[in-house]
Amino acid sequence: MNILFATSEAVPLAKTGGLADVAGALPKALNKRGVDTRVVLPKYAQIPAALIGQFVQIATFNVSFGWRNQYCGLLKAEFEGVTYYLIDNEHYFKRHGLYGYDDDSERFVFFCFAVMEAVRYMDFHPDIVHCHDWQTGLIPFLLKTRYFYDPAWAYTKSVFTIHNLKYQGLFGIEHLQDLLGVGHDMFYADSLEFHGAGSCMKGGLVYADKLTTVSNTYAEEIQTEYFGEKLDSLLRYRSGDLIGIVNGIDDELFDPMNDPALEVPYRNSISRKRKNKVELQRELGLPQSEEIPLIGIVSRLVEQKGFDLITATLEEILNEDVQFVILGAGDAQYEHFFNDAAYRHPDKFKVWIGYDDRLARRIYAGSDLFAMPSQFEPCGLSQLLALRYRSVPIVRETGGLKDTVQAYDEYNGEGNGFSFTNYNAHDYMYTVRRALALYRNEEVWKQIVNNGNKEDYSWNRSAKAYISVYSQLLAHRKEKESWPVIL
Ligand code: ADP
Ligand code: GLC
């Protein structure tokens, strides 16, 4: 089985969030199970030089889309058994960061067309192209339209994974028509049109053969109006093709027993873990103490992650005997709020604005509790990393948080974290206080921390679930296509 992952980010090359973790770890897990899974992504300027040095150029060609005709280089390298391809065009991708440019539409439409062309130059015929989020949403669309009868894609099926329904790649219809070189007939409600705009995500949602999302609960939630981002009726229509598969983490890459970012390696020993807390306190300029509970957050600073609850309650929580550390970057309003709080509470609260993999690992290891009271959360990898580093998660019961964190139950001693149901600052604060109270009971705390060990959060289970989705698709591959063909 040959699977081509088309993604806008993947560890170890380029990362802004959980998508990169998934696109890095899942292909590794699939390859280990005998599925030849390769990954294609843009050649961004931020890919570390040491890794770029290992790529060789295997082709150059031109990509035409709309009236444009652009250069494209194709590079190839192998890391840890996974073959990576890079799409090279310096005009589009040799920039600071990955996203957030005025011409992101053109950059990722180019990427989608470039992937369609690049396959001609690979020694690999994909049985399935597995696309992720809006940046690659137009690939399933192109497969069902312009490339329908292209031998380079003969019998290839598509899977589209929703990592976050909120980011849809919405642009003007005329602009997308111009980029795609198609007429208005592709912009009706049953194709790429979305409330008067053109939607790249609908390219995936309408045209992919199978849809997946990154947890069972989120798969259900997005079929409701509240979480559906105005796409719930389409998702209900396609519910027979939509399946939730919870993410895993790469347990080799994130292993407190073998993590160069940490001072003291550990696995189950709370006392060894606490040595890392003291090192973190020293590094951040907090009073050093193994006893004071430390709450950590590593996150994009955006509304989704529950920062309205965190900002509303921070002052009150800091009245407790506690330390609180946040690493993140994002909305300026949260950055200002936390910088100001850190200035006023130098002995209790620290914030580090930016993206820093080393500090992230030190916070997972150094914190006793990990706060993630998200408004919605398709899966969430941070709470899984927290569990792996024995930091007890405090979450809201939504999406993947609900599927991976079980609230501690005093009566039977089960549960690996703390959770609350309603998106409400008081409920969040009550839950934090309960966690802090239990932290002071050594025996109970040991039990909760150890409960975090019971579930397997690696890709073992979920890689199998993806293989079963791929197998189902390929079993029907030779059946007559029912799709309209637009050449
Ligand atoms: P999302 O993809 O919505 O941002 P996830 O929880 O799925 O959320 O994944 C976030 C990933 O990005 C985790 O690996 C987390 O450790 C990492 N991360 C988030 N913010 C930062 C940051 N400021 N510095 C380092 N790593 C970060
Ligand atoms: C998105 C979601 C996050 C998920 C990640 C990887 O960024 O916000 O919940 O874990 O994708 O699937």
Please report whether residue 138 resides in a domain: yes
Contacts for 172 with CB less than 8 Å, ≥ 6 apart: 197, 198
On whether both 443 and 469 belong to a single domain, the answer is no
Three-state SS sequence of 144-166: HCCCCCCHHHCCCEEEEEECCCC
- Ligand minimally distant from the alpha carbon of residue 26: 2
Owner of token pair 């369609």: 116
> pLDDT tens, 320-339?
999 999 999 999 999 999 99
Please report whether residue 265 resides in a domain: no
On whether both 71 and 125 belong to a single domain, the answer is yes
On whether both 83 and 161 belong to a single domain, the answer is yes
On whether both 465 and 321 belong to a single domain, the answer is no
State the average pLDDT for the chain: 96
Tell me which of 133, 298, 363 to substitute to probe ligand 1's pocket, judged by most ligand atoms within 8 Å of the beta carbon.
298
Domain range holding 44? 2-248+460-481
Q: How confident is the model at residue 487 (pLDDT cuts 50, 70, 90)?
A: very low
Please report whether residue 405 resides in a domain: yes
Please report whether residue 301 resides in a domain: yes
The string of DSSP codes covering 192-255 is TEETTEEEHHHHHHHH-SEEEES-HHHHHHTTSTTTSTT-HHHHHHTGGGEEE------TTTS-
Q: Is pLDDT of 401 > 60?
A: yes
> pLDDT tens, 237-277?
999 999 999 999 999 999 999 999 999 999 999 999 999 99
Q: Which two tokens stand for residue 389?
A: 């580093």
On whether both 243 and 282 belong to a single domain, the answer is no
Looking at residue 480, its pLDDT comes to 43
- 3-class DSSP state for residue 470? helix
Do residues 82 and 38 lie in contact, with contact meaning Cβ atoms separated by under 8 Å? yes
- Ligand minimally distant from the alpha carbon of residue 399: 2
On whether both 239 and 351 belong to a single domain, the answer is no
Q: For residue 349, report the distance from its CA to the centre of ligand 1, in Å.
A: 20
**Distance of alpha carbon 257 from alpha carbon 111, whole angstroms:** 39
On whether both 188 and 282 belong to a single domain, the answer is no
**The CATH number of the domain where 395 resides is what?**
3.40.50.2000
**Number of separate domains in the chain:** 2
Please report whether residue 260 resides in a domain: no
On whether both 227 and 362 belong to a single domain, the answer is no
Atom 3 of ligand 2: nearest residue by CA position: 380
On whether both 78 and 221 belong to a single domain, the answer is yes
Q: How confident is the model at residue 485 (pLDDT cuts 50, 70, 90)?
A: very low
Please report whether residue 258 resides in a domain: no
Please state, in angstroms and as integers, the Cα–Cα distance from residue 82 to each residue in 9, 24, 36, 301, following that order: 15, 9, 8, 32
Where residue 169 falls (left for φ over 0; alpha for ψ -120 to 50; beta otherwise) is left
Please report whether residue 259 resides in a domain: no
On whether both 323 and 398 belong to a single domain, the answer is yes
**Distance of alpha carbon 324 from alpha carbon 370, whole angstroms:** 10
On whether both 195 and 330 belong to a single domain, the answer is no
**Distance of alpha carbon 18 from alpha carbon 127, whole angstroms:** 25
Q: How confident is the model at residue 479 (pLDDT cuts 50, 70, 90)?
A: low
Do residues 76 and 39 lie in contact, with contact meaning Cβ atoms separated by under 8 Å? no
Please report whether residue 98 resides in a domain: yes
> pLDDT tens, 170-193?
999 999 999 999 999 999 999 999
Atom 16 of ligand 1: nearest residue by CA position: 382
Do residues 247 and 400 lie in contact, with contact meaning Cβ atoms separated by under 8 Å? yes
The string of DSSP codes covering 400-452 is HHHHH--B--TTT---SBEEESSS-HHHHHHHHHHHHHHHTSHHHHHHHHHHT
The predicted model scores a pTM of 0.96
On whether both 151 and 209 belong to a single domain, the answer is yes
Pocket of ligand 2 (CB under 6 A): 17-19, 22, 163-164, 214, 247, 377-381, 400
